[in-house]
Chains A and B, each alone.
Chain A
C-alpha cells in the first residue's frame, strides 16, 4: 500500500467515523439515560434523509434540508416518545420491541412515499470542491462531515460536563430514582433526550444522503454500524461513541479496500474480541444493564 493510498483510506475512515458518531452519539445517549435501545434510530436517519430530499427537490439548499430533516424527525421522535414509549416505560423488552415494530412501519411507508431507487443528494455548493492534503486530492464535503463530528463531540462534552442539563443527565444515568426524588421531572428529561437523539439522527440522514445515498435498507445497515460502534465503545458513554465510531470507520474503510467481499465480516472480528474479553465495551460501565 502506497503512502498516498494509506492517507486516503485513513481520511475516508475518519470521515465515515465522524458520520457514525453523529448518529451513534444520540443512540448511546438515549440508552445511557433511558435504557432504551432505540432500534428505530436507523429509520429516523433514513426518514430524515428523505425529508431533506423532498426539501432539496423543492429547490431548498442543503443547509435548509439538513435543518428541516432534523426538525421533522425531532417532531416524529416526540410523538413516538410521548405517544408510545411512555406507555411501556421501564419495561425493557416492550420498549425495544416497540421500536422494532415502528422501524418496520417506517421502512414500508418510506418505500411507498420515496420509492426503491437509491438516491444521492447533492453536495452543498460551498463544499462541492476538493482540497489538496499531503498529496491527496480530497472532497471538501467529507472534511465538513469530519468538522461537524468534532463540533458535536465538543458540544456534547461541554453539555455533559459543564451545564445543569448535563449534570441532570449524568445523575440520571447513575441513579434515576434519586434524581426524581430531588424534584426533577425525569419524564421531561427523558423526552428531551429522546427528541435530541432523534434530531441528530434526522440531521445525519441528510448528511448521509450526500455521503452514502438513500435507499430502502439503508436504515438497517446504518443501524448495524451504530450497534457495532456501541458494542465496541460501550453503551451509554460519549467517549465510547467517539472511539467506537473511529474504529468502525477505519476498519470499514481499510476493509473495503483490502477485501471488498469480506469487509462486513472484518467488522465482526473486533466485535467478537471485545465480547469475549471486555463484554461491556471499551468504555462500558459495570453498572449499566
Chain B
C-alpha cells in the first residue's frame, strides 16, 4: 500500500516537474501544443463540471466560451479598453450570459438540456456570424493582444499554466464542497433531491454559471493565444470537440479533461500534418470511446489498472470506491451500481434512478 502511494506521489511530482521545466526541454512547437492543451483542458473541464459531476451534458459550451472571446476582442480592439479591464468585462459578460442561459435550462434535463444548450450555442454563433459591425463576421476580430509580460511563446505558456492551475485548484475545491456534493446528488437522483431540502433549480443554475465562467477563462486564453477570435471557435463543432475531450479523458475526473485535450491537441497539431482527414479521425475516436470505453482513458485506467493494484495491496475498499465512482456514474456507462455497500457509504454513488431506468429501457428495446 505504501509503495503504491509512493508511486502515485512520485508520478505526480514528475508530472509537475515536467510541466514547469517544459520550455527548457522541448522546442516552441511543443510548448505551444502544451499551451493549447492547457486552455482546451480547462474548457473540457468546464464541460466536465456540469456533465461529469452534474449529469447535464452540454453541446453549447463553445457559445459560452465565445462570449468571453468576443467580449475581450470587442472591448479591447473596438473600444480600446485596457487589456486587463477588457478581460474583466469579458468575464462579467460571460457570467451574465451563462446565468441567463442557465435560467432557461433549470427545468430541463437529459436530452432536453443537451438540445437547448446546442440551440443556445448556435444562437451565439449566428449572432457572431451576422452582427458584422461588432464581431467582424467571418473575418473575426484581429489584434487581440497577450498580456505585456507574456508575449513570448514560453512566457505565455507559464501565464496559461498559472491561470489554468489556479482554475483547476478552484474546481477541485468546488467539486469537494457541499455544493459539489449536492451537484452529484442532482446527477444521481434529481427527483430525490427536492424532498431532501435541496433547491435543484438553484444548484443547476449555479453549476451552469460557474462552469460557464471557467469556459470564459479558457476563451480568454484561446483568444489571446491566437491574437484572434472568429465564428468557428463558437460553432457547435467546437462544443462537440470540448465534449469529446471531456468524455475521452473520462467524465467526472479532473485529470481526464487534460488527457482528453492532450489527445485533441496532438491530433489537430501533429497528426494533421500527416493526415488530411484528421477530423474524421477525431469523429472515429469519439464514436469508439462511446462504444467501448464510456468512462474514458482515466476511467479505464483506474478501473483496469489502478483498482486491481489497490486490491492486490490490500486496499479493497478503496478499490471498490474507484470501481463504482468513476465515469460519471450512470451518465455514459451502463454498469449497475446497485447493491454496492461502499458506494452507499461513500454517498457519492448511491443506487440511482438513472441505471434502473436504463435497465427498463434496454428490456423494452430488445
A residues with a Cβ closer than 8 A to B are: 35, 37, 39, 84, 87-94, 96-98, 100-105, 107-109, 111-112, 176-177, 180, 186-187, 190, 217, 220-221, 223-224, 227-228, 230-231, 235, 260-265, 267-268, 271-272, 275-276, 279, 289
Contact = CB atoms under 8 A, between A and B. Distances in A.
B243 A100 contact: yes
Given A177-B360, A220-B237, A265-B123, A104 B114 contact: no
Contacts of B277: 108-109, 112
Interface stretch (B2-10, B254-262, B279-287): B279-287
A100 B289 CA distance: 12
B126 A264 contact: yes
Interface in B150-204: none
Interface string B267-304: 00000000011011011101100110010000000000
Contact of B362 (A91, A104, A267): A91
Most buried by B among A217, A223, A276: A217
A235 B130 CA distance: 29
B350 to A, nearest CB: 19
Given A94-B290, A220-B236, 17 more contacts: A90-B360, A91-B332, A91-B358, A92-B111, A107-B237, A108-B277, A186-B364, A187-B365, A220-B237, A224-B118, A235-B112, A261-B132, A265-B123, A272-B104, A279-B107, A279-B108, A279-B112
The winner among A89, A91, A235 for most chain B CB atoms within 10 A is: A91
A106 B48 CA distance: 26
B126 A227 contact: no
Given A88-B290, A97-B247, A104-B286, A264 B358 contact: no
A94 B332 contact: yes
Looking at A84, A100, A220, A268, the one whose CB has the most chain B CB atoms below 10 A away is A100
Given A93-B332, A275-B108, A187 B366 contact: yes
Q: How large is the interface on B (under 10, 10 to 19, 20 to 34, 35 or more residues)?
A: 35 or more
B240 interface: yes
10 contacts: A35-B361, A37-B114, A89-B362, A97-B247, A105-B283, A217-B235, A220-B237, A262-B131, A268-B120, A275-B108
Contacts of B237: 104, 107, 220
Contacts of B290: 88, 94, 97-98, 101
B59 interface: yes
B126 A96 contact: no
Closest 8 CB pairs of A and B: A264-B126, A101-B286, A90-B361, A105-B283, A104-B283, A108-B279, A101-B287, A90-B362
B207 interface: no
Main SS of chain A's interface residues? helix
A20 to B, nearest CB: 14
B147 interface: no
- Output the residue of B107, B123, B291 with the most chain A CB within 10 A: B123
Contact of A260 (B105, B116, B130, B294): B130
A97 B119 contact: no
Contacts of A96: 57, 111, 114
A186 B363 CA distance: 11
B363 to A, nearest CB: 7
B115 interface: yes
A176 B286 contact: no
Contacts of A235: 112
B321 interface: no
Interface in B99-148: 103-105, 107-112, 114-116, 118-120, 122-123, 126-127, 129-133
